[in-house]
């Protein structure tokens, strides 16, 4: 049996030990009443816990994988200390208002296609997708090694945000149409869901353009509110059901030869982060770029090959329509450059890079072919 004195000593020792542990796990400068951070899944104290709204649903194939992967990778590499809670469009922020919430620090960060900022930040579409612009691997080169990142950061810093390039895909389809297109004249009067600068060009050649988030497009197509739509690549568009209604799928994806998606962080939040966490987020987003491009390229072929099985005809845009769209796109780009200095600077940078890069591409890559490799 233990004596009463021994029991008392043991109790006091346990109390003192618990007090020391409590002090040890407090963050520096914590007040006496503040609780220690909650432990993450891996046991480490959670030091970053963000609610992150998305501009497209995370369950969409081709659009949702990268941010889910990023969220898990951040948990895994920090033992649960860096946590992203993902929210689909409309759960806490509307699809087109992600950056508004980040700017005002209603949320710390978001994941979005920056082209949705066109009405607020005129140069934003160039960061997201430029009609007849760079191919995705060239955009990667421009962003990391030809000043693209610095230009984008300077634009968004004016709005208290930092954009981090985190995903990219190749061309989207030129659209899903209920009726075939025989010439440029067939665009006149069509009601089409279209985004970004491409929508402006499409409007210029006679279409009536509307903007809808992903979750609203199918119903609009099904009920005849719109006659045609573009949204993403074949994998994503098939999942949204467009092929059930619109049986003519057109190419090439002139309006978005690349589609870049960014994590956008409130600039004050960014400044409060550890440099190691900043580097981790940027590094994993760079990995996300490569992963997303590889995945999206791998997945499109089987979908396109199977379009005929669901009664869809994959077709090339009429030559006269594509020529008119190129002309209209250049007019829109030049007009926007005349209105906004940031737009002009970014457009000039991309055009210069595209021209010089074009020399390499023309010499180094085999010409396109429809034959097997």
In order, the DSSP letters of 246-287 are --EEEE--TT-SSEEEEEEEEHHHHHHS-HHHHHHHHHHHHH
What whole-number distance in Å separates Cα of residue 188 and Cα of residue 196?
19
Q: What is the CATH number of domain 48-171+258-297?
A: 3.40.190.170
CB burial readout 36-52, b (16+ within 10 A) else e: ebeebeeeeebebebbb
Give the three-state DSSP class for 20: helix
Average pLDDT over residues 319-339: 98
CATH for the 175-254+312-362 domain, from 3.30.460.10, 3.40.50.2020, 3.40.50.1000, 3.40.190.10: 3.40.190.10
Considering only CA atoms, give the Rg of the chain: 25
pTM: predicted TM-score of the whole model, two decimal places: 0.87
Q: What's the token pair of residue 316? A: 């090339």
pLDDT at res. 41: 63
- Residue among 31, 36, 4, 2 nearest 18 (CA): 36
Confidence band, pLDDT 50/70/90 cuts, at residue 32: very low
- For the chain, the residue count is 373
**Do 48-171+258-297 and 175-254+312-362 have matching folds?**
yes
For position 213, what pLDDT does the model report? 95
What is the mean pLDDT of the segment spanning 176-185?
A: 97
Domain boundaries, the chain: 48-171+258-297, 175-254+312-362
- Average pLDDT of the residues of the chain: 90
pLDDT recorded at residue 44: 83
What pairing do the DSSP bridges indicate for beta strands 191-193 and 208-210?
A: parallel
Average pLDDT, integer, range 194-208? 96
Q: What pLDDT is attached to residue 42?
A: 64
Are β-strands 259-266 and 161-169 bridged in parallel, bridged antiparallel, or unpaired? antiparallel
């Amino acid at each position: 049996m233990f004596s009463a004195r021994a029991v008392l000593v043991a109790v006091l020792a346990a109390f003192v030990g618990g007090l020391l542990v409590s002090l040890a796990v407090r963050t520096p400068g914590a007040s006496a009443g503040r609780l220690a951070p909650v432990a993450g899944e891996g046991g480490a104290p959670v030091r970053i816990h963000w609610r992150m709204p998305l501009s497209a649903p995370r369950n969409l194939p081709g659009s949702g994988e990268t941010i889910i992967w990023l969220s898990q990778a951040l948990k895994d590499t920090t033992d649960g200390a860096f946590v992203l809670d993902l929210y689909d469009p409309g759960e806490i922020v509307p699809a087109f208002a992600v950056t508004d919430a980040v700017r005002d620090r209603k949320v710390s960060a978001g994941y979005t296609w920056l082209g949705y900022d066109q009405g607020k930040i005129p140069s934003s579409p160039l960061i997201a997708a430029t009609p007849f612009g760079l191919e995705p691997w060239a955009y990667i080169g421009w962003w990391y090694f030809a000043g693209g990142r610095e230009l984008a950061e300077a634009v968004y810093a004016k709005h208290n945000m930092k954009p981090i390039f985190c995903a990219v895909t190749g061309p989207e389809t030129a659209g899903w149409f209920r009726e075939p297109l025989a010439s440029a004249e067939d665009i006149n009067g069509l009601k089409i869901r279209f985004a970004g600068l491409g929508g402006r060009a499409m409007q210029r050649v006679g279409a009536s353009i509307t903007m809808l988030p992903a979750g609203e497009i199918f119903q609009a197509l099904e009920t005849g509110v719109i006659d045609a739509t573009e949204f993403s690549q074949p994998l994503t568009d098939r999942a949204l059901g467009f092929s059930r209604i619109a049986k003519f799928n057109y190419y090439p994806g002139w309006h978005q030869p690349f589609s870049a998606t960014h994590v956008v962080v409130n600039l004050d939040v960014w400044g409060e982060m550890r440099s190691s966490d900043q580097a981790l987020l940027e590094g994993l987003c760079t990995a996300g770029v490569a992963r997303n491009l590889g995945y999206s390229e791998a997945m499109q072929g089987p979908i396109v090959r199977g379009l005929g099985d669901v009664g869809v005809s994959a077709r090339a845009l009429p030559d006269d329509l594509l020529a008119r769209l190129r002309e209209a796109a250049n007019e829109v780009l030049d007009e926007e450059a005349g209105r906004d200095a940031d737009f002009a600077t970014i457009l000039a940078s991309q055009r210069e890079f595209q021209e010089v890069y074009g020399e390499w591409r023309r010499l180094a890559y085999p010409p396109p072919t429809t034959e097997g490799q």
